[in-house]
Amino acid sequence: MHNLITKLKLSNTMNSKMNFSDLDIKILTNLSKDGRISLRQLAKDLDVGSPVTIKNHVENLEKNGIIKNYGAQIDYEKLGYDIIALIEITVSKGKMLEVEKKIAQIPNVFAVYDITGTYDALILARFKTRSELSEMIKENIHASPFVERTNTHIVLNIIKENSSLAELITEE
């Protein structure tokens, strides 16, 4: 844990104006593993006398945008969304943000990234059927006069999909 804290503090001083305390980092690490943990349990686990201290740190992390949201990890396959598509797109010069914002509004889309390389953007989306995927590509993406080219990949198996702060910054 000490190496984790040292790495985060070093990274923090180079990239951000906010100063993290050791307690902030421990809170973030625990919340990244279990976002539903109570403040009382967090205080107990971190050997902090009062849940109010934890609450103040969490509120500060939320206020500064470090903690963005709390949510459940959903098994989409059990809900019938068996198909994950990665769609690379090339966009006309100067129109990338416009196209990305429009695509981001499609309910099936769960991520839109600007990327480097042959393509300009990467879209991640979930579908119940191949025909839903085909329809979205034809009616929402190819229909845009600014989309020049696409390349679609289908995920065959999910090996890993989530990470916690503790996994992201491992001890040396």
The strand order across the sheet containing 147-154 reads: 109-114, 121-127, 83-91, 147-154
Query: pTM of whole model > 0.85?
Result: no
Tens digits of residue pLDDT in 111-151: 999 999 999 999 999 999 999 999 999 999 999 999 999 99
Q: Residue 26 — very low, low, confident or very high, per pLDDT cuts 50/70/90? A: very high
Q: What are the extents of the domains in the chain?
A: 2-63, 76-154
Query: 47 by DSSP, 3-state: which?
Result: coil
CATH 3.30.70.920, applies to 76-154: yes
**CA 34 – CA 70 distance, rounded (Å):** 10
Tens digits of residue pLDDT in 46-71: 999 899 999 999 999 999 999 999 88
Residue 33 CA to chain centroid, in angstroms? Answer: 14
Topology given in CATH for the domain delimited by 2-63: Arc Repressor Mutant, subunit A (1.10.10)
